[in-house]
């Protein structure tokens, strides 16, 4: 993988549905915990996780040309094939 700054300005969705769910829950938990232990870095991490989970775009994934969108479509295609074979 190579780091490319030009890919950062495209703002294409690169976070899949399953990962969005994990980012939102993990970010919410980090924000909640940071309120009780007064940790600013944990609060910032939580905010970044919630923002990337909500928007569906991760700047680090864009820079590294990584995407988890294909994983969602591949797993849903496999489920569709299983549903068709059951009939």
- 42 in any annotated domain: yes
Cβ-proximal residues to 26 (8 Å cutoff; 6+ apart), any chain: 46, 49
Q: Is residue 71 included in any domain, yes or no?
A: yes
13 belongs to a structural domain: yes
The answer to whether residue 86 sits within a structural domain is no
Domain range spanning residue 68? Answer: 5-80
Would you state the pLDDT for residue 30?
A: 94
pLDDT exceeds cutoff 60 at 77: no
Our count of domains for the chain comes to: 1
Q: Residue with structure tokens 């780091």?
A: 3
Percent of the chain at pLDDT above 70? 69
Judge whether 11 and 57 are in contact, CB under 8 Å: yes
Tell me the per-residue pLDDT of 22-45, one tens digit each, with 9 for 90 and over.
999 999 999 999 999 988 999 999
């Amino acid at each position: 993988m190579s780091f490319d700054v030009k890919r950062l300005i495209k703002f294409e969705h690169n976070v899949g549905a399953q990962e969005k769910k994990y980012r939102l829950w993990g970010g919410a938990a980090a924000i909640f915990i940071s309120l009780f232990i007064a940790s600013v870095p944990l609060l910032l991490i939580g905010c970044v996780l919630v923002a990337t989970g909500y928007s569906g775009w991760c700047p680090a994934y864009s820079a590294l040309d990584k995407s988890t969108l294909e994983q969602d479509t591949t797993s849903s295609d496999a489920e569709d094939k299983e549903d068709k074979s059951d009939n």
